[in-house]
A = this chain, B = another copy of it.
Amino acid sequence: MRQSSLFTKTRREAPKDELAKNAQLLIRAGYVHKEMAGVYAYLPLGLKVVERIKAIVREEMEAIGGNELLMTSLQSKELWEKTDRWDDKNVDVWFKSVLKNGSEVGFGWSHEEPITELMTEYLASYRDLPAYVYQFQTKLRNELRAKSGIMRGREFVMKDMYSYTTDEEAHLKFYNAAIQAYHNVFMHVGLGELTYLTFASGGAFTQFSHEFQTVSEAGEDTIYVHKKKRLAVNKEVLTPEVLEKLDVKREELVEEKAIEVGNIFSFGSIKSEQLGLKYKDEEGTEKPVILGSYGIGITRLMGTIVESFADEKGIVWPEAVAPFAYHLVSLAGNNGDVAAYAESLYEELTDAGKSVLYDDRDVRAGEKFADSDLMGLPWRIVVGKDTLSSGQLELVHRKTGETTHLTRSELLAR
């Protein structure tokens, strides 16, 4: 893509009321726009990152048998009353409004209830099970405070998956497959090393739920990390009994701030019983379906990546989620030969299937480099007067700053 055809620009300053590093950088670099506290629009480069993260998550969800669907934002009061989660006393993040006929509606902050009710239309027999469904949904949550940028918004994109199985054994088998799929996702987006499977409080049905927590100073949670065993314990369940059960000693754990990037949860049959989701087993006996739920905050993950890797110059995208792999910076100035070289290189790289943002703007070199650092694409290719005389292109790795020189054909062969 030609940078001249992109309407966004970098900005020197983020809005004064923006306190979170992730949003400050994303706004300054032209990835997101702040509509109001906790509500961000995704500009072209930001939307590309969101879509790349979604593609990585989708691949893993499909690999464990997920069927993708898309539920609705509008939610019925009657449905949520069945599980006693309509009342603001029980759920304090509802946005609610009123239809023209006077009946109340809510806006989806979660979708366990509607998906489980939907399933009563399709799941009746053991032959219909298991079923695994997921969606990428814009969730709306009326949060009291929204100070963490895109990491905790009033409007955000989440992947939520639900498993429906006949019994505990089938449930656990899928639950463990989901844990592995989640590990794969965090590894793939570049957060593998920093992210820990974390034991957190369960519910009526199980002792634990599991969170995936990424160690970060920007985190809102406190966890206790066992580095050697690659696990962690959420502060809320840090008791001698739990430590004994996990076979770890308190002194082996390190306290860390962390961001919850994923969570998985066993509901047992509670919700299925509340919503009437039953199946007939091989003997014709009616039984409630076992439900699990599996979330990844897509836009939160994007914010976490920014928080984790940014440096004093700006954003540093891992290659797997970057909006473009290469930032081709032309220092042509008034030199038509350099401009022509850069143009033809851009065409050639793009034709070769490489993902390139081409800074073809007529601005000073210093501004181009500062913008490029702020925007954080993994590899910068510099074309200047020297390129024409030496035949060597400069390739700069954003993450390490390492500079290498290579010929045009070496670059194309990369």
Given known pairs A70-B47, A107-B107, the reply for A7 and B41 (CB within 8 Å) is: no
In contact, B47 and A69 (Cβ under 8 angstroms): yes
Size of the A side of the interface (Cβ < 8 Å), in residues, is: 53
Within 8 Å by CB of A69, from B42, B97, B121, B154, lies B42
Q: Which of A71-79, A311-319, A401-409 contacts B (4 or more CB under 8 A)?
A: A71-79
* Min CB gap A365→B, angstroms: 19
Q: How far is the CA of A33 from the CA of B115 in the complex (A)?
A: 10
Q: Is A123 an interface residue (CB 8 A)?
A: yes
Q: How far is the CA of A65 from the CA of B44 in the complex (A)?
A: 12
* Min CB gap A160→B, angstroms: 13
Within 8 Å by CB of A70, from B6, B42, B75, lies B42
Which residues of chain B are near A70, meaning CB under 8 Å? Answer: 41-42, 47, 50
Q: Is the interface of A mostly helix, strand, loop or mixed?
A: mixed
* Min CB gap A267→B, angstroms: 18
Within 8 Å by CB of A9, from B35, B43, B122, B140, lies B122
Q: How far is the CA of A11 from the CA of B120 in the complex (A)?
A: 13
Given known pairs A40-B72, A72-B155, A154-B74, the reply for A33 and B100 (CB within 8 Å) is: no
In contact, A97 and B142 (Cβ under 8 angstroms): yes
In contact, B41 and A72 (Cβ under 8 angstroms): yes
Q: How far is the CA of A6 from the CA of B43 in the complex (A)?
A: 35
Which residues of chain B are near A65, meaning CB under 8 Å? Answer: 5
Q: How far is the CA of A33 from the CA of B105 in the complex (A)?
A: 18
Which residues of chain B are near A308, meaning CB under 8 Å? Answer: none
In contact, B47 and A123 (Cβ under 8 angstroms): no
Q: How far is the CA of A154 from the CA of B65 in the complex (A)?
A: 31
Query: For residue A362, which residue of chain B has the nearest CB?
Result: B127
- Show 21 residue pairs from A and B whose CB-CB distance is below 8 angstroms, ordered by the A residue: A5-B65, A7-B67, A7-B119, A9-B128, A11-B121, A30-B122, A33-B118, A39-B74, A40-B72, A41-B69, A41-B70, A41-B114, A41-B118, A44-B68, A44-B69, A72-B155, A73-B107, A74-B154, A74-B155, A96-B97, A100-B144
